[in-house]
Amino acid sequence: MKIVVTSIFVEDQERALEFYTGKLGFVKKHDVPMGKHRWITLVSPEQPDGVELLLEPNEHPAAKSYQKKIFADGIPATMFGVDDIQAEYQRLVEAGLTFTMAPTTMGNVTVAVFDDTCGNLIQMVQNN
């Protein structure tokens, strides 16, 4: 068994698609109309056949509530791995992203947390 798709709740699919492709550099894999929403998945350009990230609308009241509460408590919705967190941090700051935590070493990893502008905090991690 392996993970093939994971999802993240987003407030606006189109804005999330622009952010995750334009700012973070993910690549759109699927974009299928599904009623008033779309099945939009993204992949890392480094792993085009890897795990897909689904941009899931947060319209269900439980999803919206969950998303708002973990954001308010400073809890990242998901985590992305990077090879050079300092370089990625600098690139994203220059692209206008807001970080709630600059790169911080914690044991054998360094982490940073940013706002995805779509209702989520995202953690980046680099294994040291």
pLDDT tens, 4-54?
Answer: 999 999 999 999 999 999 999 999 999 999 999 999 999 999 999 999 999
Predicted local confidence at residue 64, as pLDDT: 95
What would the DSSP string read from start to end of 100-122? EEEEEEETTEEEEEEE-SSS-EE
Predicted local confidence at residue 45, as pLDDT: 97
CB 111 within 8 A of CB 128: no
| 70-91 mean pLDDT | 98
Length of the chain measured in residues: 128
Q: Which two tokens stand for residue 59?
A: 């319209």
For 57-96, b where at least 16 C-beta lie within 10 A, e where not — what string? bbeeeebeeebeebbeeeebbeeeebeebeebbeebeeee
Q: What is the pLDDT of residues 58-76, one digit of tens each?
A: 999 999 999 999 999 999 9
The pTM (predicted TM-score) of the whole model is 0.94
